[in-house]
A and B are shown apart, each in its own frame.
Chain A
Amino acid sequence: MSNQERKEAFLSPLWKTNPLFISLLGMCPALAVTKTLEAAFGMGILFTLVLVCSNVLISALRKWIPEEVRTPSYIVVIATFVTLVKMFAEAFLPELYSTLGVFVSLLVVNCIVLGRAEAFASKNGVLPSLLDGIGNGIGYTIAICLIAVIREVLGSGRLTFGATFTFLADLNGGEKIRVPLLKGEGYDLSMSFFSSPAGGFLVLGIVLAIIVAVTNAKENKKKADARIAAKKAKELAAANAAKEEAK
């Protein structure tokens, strides 16, 4: 694999082939844990850890994994890393662990993790698989954090830090850090609907619609530019031919 391809394996999932916004994978946690930015960011970190570790191990074992038990082997590896990440989260980030609840365990059946193992790690070396894991992990984290910011601001009217990552509150003298945006003293423009699962669906739908519209507009512009360039080239060729003829 060339350096360019390795770079592509890392950069492409950040936006161009984003697992959530473009491939529409991992929708369940994207709706369930995006009520607050902190929870979404925490989920993104745990997801990235599981994805990177499972990608690396599956890639390292790819030549020895028998074809008949390919999928069970992937599931065993992924389930192990989910269990390890869960234990570490429960020990060192207990608030995050209790906020995410059952959705940490559900990473075992997350289609992005299994999908990357099947589509990439089982066919490529350790380094490209590591880069692919990091790229997809960051891409997914960016996507769920974007949804979470919109939902938290619209749903609660402010951004709160320190509820899940308690060390932030400790740094602020034990008080949670609250950034008032739509809710403050004397005004409250928040809509609690956006904190509900239905609100999550609506926000995800709107974000996807915007992304599709922007992508389509870019593609249309590219096509239009190509048409204009072809037309200009044709005119130039015709002019050159006329000149030649006149000579």
Chain B
Amino acid sequence: MKVNMKHAFYVGGFLAGLCGVLALAIAGVDLLTKDIIKANKLEKERNGLKRVFPSGEVDGEAVEVHQGKLEKYWTVKESGSELGRIYSAFGKNSYGQVSLLIGVYSDFSLGNIVVLENTESYGQTLEEGYLDPYNAAEDKSTAVLSVSCGATYGATLCRDMILEAASHYQGGQA
């Protein structure tokens, strides 16, 4: 079969041109929206911090961690004494990504958890060997550190993030 070089160049050129123009459009809109998106995320984070420990006050700036799934933490105080920490954690797997604010009390028990972002698709495969999250929730002290809390990959990811936060605090790591 004889290759029509002129036509081949036309096809390649058309695709390259189309992709170039559309990439410019994406770059333009990104430039326009990225600051707004960043501000939205910060606003959501600020609102989330209030919901994790409603009775406490966030003390000072966040401490950067960047260890495993943990990104940073805030120390929360109530009446002058340390109430606990709020960890910001981010994790992803093949099914999407999850961003959490995890509250851990100073006695290393679990406080409220706020989901900032969840793009996990529905889980398709069940992991065997995990305890029922509802039964586990009855005993909070064991549910916090030693109990798996879900059946799907998304729930497993959340569990890992929570365990990392709790063990980071428990390990006394600054």
A94 and B22 in contact, given A69-B14, A69-B15 (Cβ under 8 angstroms): no
A23: interface (CB < 8 Å):
no
B33: interface (CB < 8 Å):
yes
Asked if residues A102 and B121 are in contact (CB atoms below 8 Å), the reply is yes
Chain A residue with Cβ nearest B15: A69
A101 and B119 in contact, given A69-B11, A84-B25 (Cβ under 8 angstroms): yes
Distance (Å) between the CB of A199 and the closest chain B CB? 15
Q: Lowest 10 CB-CB distances: which A-B pairs, in order?
A: A91-B33, A80-B22, A91-B36, A66-B11, A94-B40, A87-B33, A84-B29, A91-B37, A87-B29, A101-B119
Distance (Å) between the CB of A208 and the closest chain B CB? 23
- Give 7 A-B pairs besides A87-B29, A91-B36 with Cβ atoms closer than 8 angstroms: A66-B11, A73-B18, A77-B18, A77-B22, A83-B29, A87-B26, A87-B30
Distance (Å) between the CB of A90 and the closest chain B CB? 5
In the bound complex, CA of A150 to CA of B85 (Å): 43
Asked if residues A87 and B25 are in contact (CB atoms below 8 Å), the reply is no
- Identify whether the interface residues of B are mostly helix, strand, loop, or mixed: helix
A244: interface (CB < 8 Å):
no
A83 and B26 in contact, given A69-B14, A73-B15, A102-B119 (Cβ under 8 angstroms): yes
Chain A residue with Cβ nearest B43: A94
In the bound complex, CA of A80 to CA of B122 (Å): 25
A88 and B29 in contact, given A76-B22, A101-B118, A101-B119 (Cβ under 8 angstroms): yes
Asked if residues B14 and A90 are in contact (CB atoms below 8 Å), the reply is no
A65: interface (CB < 8 Å):
yes
- Identify whether the interface residues of A are mostly helix, strand, loop, or mixed: helix
Distance (Å) between the CB of A144 and the closest chain B CB? 18
Q: Determine the interface band of chain A, counting residues with CB < 8 A from chain B.
A: 20 to 34
Q: List 23 A-B contacts (CB under 8 A).
A: A68-B11, A73-B15, A76-B15, A76-B19, A77-B18, A80-B25, A80-B26, A83-B26, A87-B29, A87-B30, A87-B33, A88-B29, A90-B37, A90-B40, A91-B32, A91-B36, A91-B40, A94-B37, A98-B117, A98-B118, A102-B119, A102-B120, A102-B121
Could you tell me which A residues sit within 8 Å of B by CB distance? 61, 64-66, 68-69, 72-73, 76-77, 80, 83-84, 87-88, 90-92, 94, 98, 101-102, 197
Chain B contacts for A84, CB-based, 8 A = 25-26, 29
User: Which one of A61, A83, A197 has the highest number of Cβ atoms from chain B below 10 Å of its Cβ?
Assistant: A83
Asked if residues A90 and B33 are in contact (CB atoms below 8 Å), the reply is yes
Distance (Å) between the CB of B160 and the closest chain A CB? 20
Q: Determine the interface band of chain B, counting residues with CB < 8 A from chain A.
A: 20 to 34
Chain A contacts for B29, CB-based, 8 A = 83-84, 87-88
In the bound complex, CA of A98 to CA of B97 (Å): 12
Chain B contacts for A73, CB-based, 8 A = 14-15, 18
Chain A residue with Cβ nearest B116: A98
In the bound complex, CA of A239 to CA of B130 (Å): 85
In the bound complex, CA of A69 to CA of B15 (Å): 8
Distance (Å) between the CB of B141 and the closest chain A CB? 30
Chain A contacts for B50, CB-based, 8 A = none
In the bound complex, CA of A197 to CA of B120 (Å): 16
User: Which one of B14, B32, B117 has the highest number of Cβ atoms from chain A below 10 Å of its Cβ?
Assistant: B14
Chain A contacts for B30, CB-based, 8 A = 87
In the bound complex, CA of A65 to CA of B120 (Å): 36
Asked if residues B14 and A65 are in contact (CB atoms below 8 Å), the reply is yes
